[in-house]
A and B are shown apart, each in its own frame.
Chain A
Amino acid sequence: MKLHRRDVVTKLLEKRGKLLVIAGLGSTSWDITAAGDSDLSFPTWGAMGQAAMIGLGLALAQPKRRVLVITGDGEMLMGLGALATIGVQRPANLTVAVIDNERYGETGMQATHTASGVDLAAVAKACGFRNSRIVSKNESFRKIVHQTTGPNFLQIKVVAEKLPLALPPHDGVLLKDRFRRALLGKSADVLAEKG
């Protein structure tokens, strides 16, 4: 049975609790919004290639919290070096989930490198991720997202499909500030005064 991206992302975010979520631009930002927008989600509208690195910065800044990056294959391919950088830092609390439809979904569904067999999970493994695999069947992600010592990498193969847009807020300052307040409480505003 082929996997559908919205079902997969809903499962990744099931009973998310205090999970911190970064989403890559385009479809994965719409996916996390369709699953239910949250102040502890930071969907991106640009900076293609940086989702995993934003996740790394967050995971290092908040070592006691679990961090999940949900991004697309095209976005991950643009920042493959991030896998090497994460492999050096080895944050135990970080999971990167690539929703792999083998297409550039926002620009006309052109094939990405994964359509020709580029194996992102093998790259992540070779870079030093503790756990890395391709997922092509329905499964529960609870343990790997919330418990398993990372860094973890999931390359989740999904059907290439065009879905209704589910847009998060555009305003970058709003997205940043709501996330910081939800995570850091009132100190989010005072921290800026330090130093």
Chain B
Amino acid sequence: MSADRWTRKVHRALAGAGVRLVGYVPDAGHKRLIELCQADASMRAVVLTTEEEGIGLAAGAWLGGKRSVLLMQSSGVGNIINVLGMVQVCRIPLVMVVTMRGEAGEFNSWQVPMGEATARVLEAMGVTVRRAESEGEISSLVKDALRSCYRDGSASAILIAQRVVGIKSFQDQTNR
């Protein structure tokens, strides 16, 4: 399956669930999905200076009755830890789609420590982790997270394994 196919399916899952706000800090692995959301008139894509802002955005959107999603790479999980406390205390529905770095195929050693800690950090702050090891399962995990988070007032992150995104070098990343 190509990146085009899984990103289209995830975009359809977001649209189908009524997601109206899409906060993001860019990642090469999210490039196509960000473009699809930007091109969708029913959605507003909001570029953030840091992932932490996406948590405030999601909280405000839900106070106003709108659903949102947050797109980021795993390094961004380190930037949201404290503010996840608000999500937990207020039971704000939160769905994050996270492309992994620091795993098999990583070319930058500075990405490794946060990549290795990502799932544990999320779980420590009460976020349910759903891990996609293949392209075929990404959109169904996103759908499942949207359904349960907006039903239960819970938070979930879908972690997309780095080998699924398959970026092998800085050059490859730049060419996306």
What is the size category of the interface that chain A forms with chain B? Answer: 35 or more
A195 touches B63 (CB 8 A): no
Residue of B nearest to A22 (CB): B60
| Minimum Cβ distance to chain A for residue B119 (Å) | 22
A81 touches B49 (CB 8 A): yes
A61 contact from B16, B66, B91, B93, Cβ within 8 A:
B66
| Minimum Cβ distance to chain B for residue A87 (Å) | 10
A195 touches B150 (CB 8 A): yes
Cβ of A172 < 8 Å from any Cβ of B?
Answer: yes
| Minimum Cβ distance to chain A for residue B175 (Å) | 26
Residue of A nearest to B19 (CB): A195
B151 touches A192 (CB 8 A): yes
Given contacts A60-B46, A89-B46, A183-B64, contact A195 B147 (CB under 8 A): yes
B18 touches A180 (CB 8 A): no
Cβ of B68 < 8 Å from any Cβ of A?
Answer: yes
Of B46, B53, B92, chain A has the most CB atoms within 10 Å of the CB of B53
Contact residues of A between 156 and 189, Cβ < 8 Å to B: 172-173, 175-176, 179-180, 183-184, 187-188
| Minimum Cβ distance to chain B for residue A137 (Å) | 31
Please classify the interface of chain A as helix (H, G, I), strand (E, B), loop, or mixed, using the class held by over half of its residues: helix
Cβ of B76 < 8 Å from any Cβ of A?
Answer: no
Cβ of A152 < 8 Å from any Cβ of B?
Answer: no
Given contacts A50-B86, A54-B56, A195-B18, contact A172 B65 (CB under 8 A): no
* Residues of chain A whose beta carbon lies under 8 Å from any beta carbon of chain B: 20, 22, 42, 44-62, 79, 81-82, 84-85, 88-89, 172-173, 175-176, 179-180, 183-184, 187-188, 191-195
14 inter-chain pairs at a CB distance below 8 angstroms, sorted by A residue, are A48-B82, A50-B55, A54-B57, A56-B60, A60-B61, A62-B64, A62-B65, A88-B47, A176-B62, A176-B63, A176-B91, A180-B63, A193-B151, A195-B146
